Amino acid sequence: MNQEYLKILAQKFLDGTASEEEKHLLHSWYDKTALSDESEIIVSETYETAEQLKQNILRNLKDSLPKNEADEIPISYGLFRRLSIWAASAAAVITLALFAWNKIHRVPENVIQMVHAPFGQTISIQLSDGSKLWLNSGSTVRFPKTFTQKLREVTLINGQAFFDVVHESKRPFVVRTKTLDVTVLGTSFDVKAYDNDRQSKVSVKSGKVGVTLHNQPGKPAVMLLPDKQIIVQNKKSEITINEISSPAIAPWKDNKNVLEDELLSEVFHALERKYNQHIIVENKALEEEKISITLDNQPLTDVLKVIGFSKKFNYSQLNDSTIVVR
């Protein structure tokens, strides 16, 4: 894989626009070089050592280029390393550093952090401005280690996150997903945007938020107040605004599920992520039904019994990781 193509793939990965095939190519390149004698795998127990990691990445990058190429290129975006950083929560935190250097090899402070919560786990993160976010299982988020002076920007690449944002009147806080942006000054809210769900949702716990759709750039933001929820149909970009009870906003932070008029298809997806199981629904008509139910930390079999009794379906355990709903 040549250097230019590698740079393009790395940038697309950072932007969240890389296809599955491109991600596979990039990961395959990394796995190949990581096993060679010319590469170095950097592992840290905490992502607080970003400066040391940054210097190691820059050194490896410069060593990987021919000397004349490194001297002649005034600005070149660096290759990234998948730096696995294992915190006490056992969540994998991948720090991606994007570097540029000029003829005197000056390195700017432009460090991007990516955090992923594996299935069956939720994690919490404190951002550089003091704001906090909670990441639900199966979710990935990207943000700079230090926000800029004019904007605080977080990208929810996939999944669900709850934000408790410190108020700053002159520096907006923006959460970007693949279909919408949420802009606030200081508030608390939940954003749900899993790739395999039909809908994206924004629910407001406190304060006020503005929601804009990517494919409707000319339209003003939809403003939401506490206990309001906007639902966006991802394929059609149709929106509805509903009331939502406060207990139903991000109960997953406390290992609970409060489902209010939820599609069974999304309920099954939520159970897959929470219990790290694959659920096959043979009766597709079931996925169109809705349910309202409150669940704590019961075993998955108990949850399915309750929902199955309500919606009149049976299930069986196909193997250790797969359940079939009929």
Block residue for tokens 């279909």: 179
pLDDT above 90: residue 154: yes
Lowest average pLDDT, out of 27-36, 40-49, 183-192, 196-205, goes to 40-49
Sheet containing 315-319, strands listed edge to edge, beginning at the edge strand earlier in sequence: 278-281, 322-325, 315-319
Contact in structure between 157 and 128 (CB atoms under 8 Å): no
Give this prediction's pTM.
0.66
pLDDT of 79 > 50? The answer is no
E-assigned strand segments in 76-225: 83-86, 92-97, 111-117, 123-126, 132-135, 139-144, 152-164, 173-176, 180-184, 188-193, 199-206, 209-213, 222-224
* Section 239-256 average pLDDT: 91
Tell me which DSSP letter residue 237 carries. -
CATH number of the domain located at residue range(s) 118-250 in this protein = 2.60.120.1440
DSSP letters, 196-235, are: TSSEEEEEEEES-EEEEETT-TTSPPEEE-TTEEEEEETT
Of 119, 103, 100, 113, nearest to 58 (Cα)? 100
Residue whose pair of structure tokens reads 């996939």 in the numeric block: 158
> Which of these ranges, 92-96, 147-151, 191-195, has the smallest mean pLDDT?
92-96
Q: Which CATH architecture has domain 255-326?
A: 3-Layer(bab) Sandwich (3.55)
Distance CA 157, CA 193 (A): 8
Distance (Å, whole) CA 281 – CA 322: 11
pLDDT in tens, 123-147: 999 999 999 999 999 999 999 999 9
Please state the φ and ψ torsions of residue 209, each to the nearest 5 degrees: -130, 155
**6-63: pLDDT as tens digits:** 656 666 655 567 777 666 666 665 555 444 433 333 333 333 344 444 444 445 444 5
Domain boundaries, the chain: 1-81+100-108, 118-250, 255-326
> Please, what is the average pLDDT of the chain?
76
Cβ atoms of 166 and 186 within 8 Å: the answer is yes
Pairing of strands 132-135, 123-126: antiparallel
Mean pLDDT of 188-207: 94
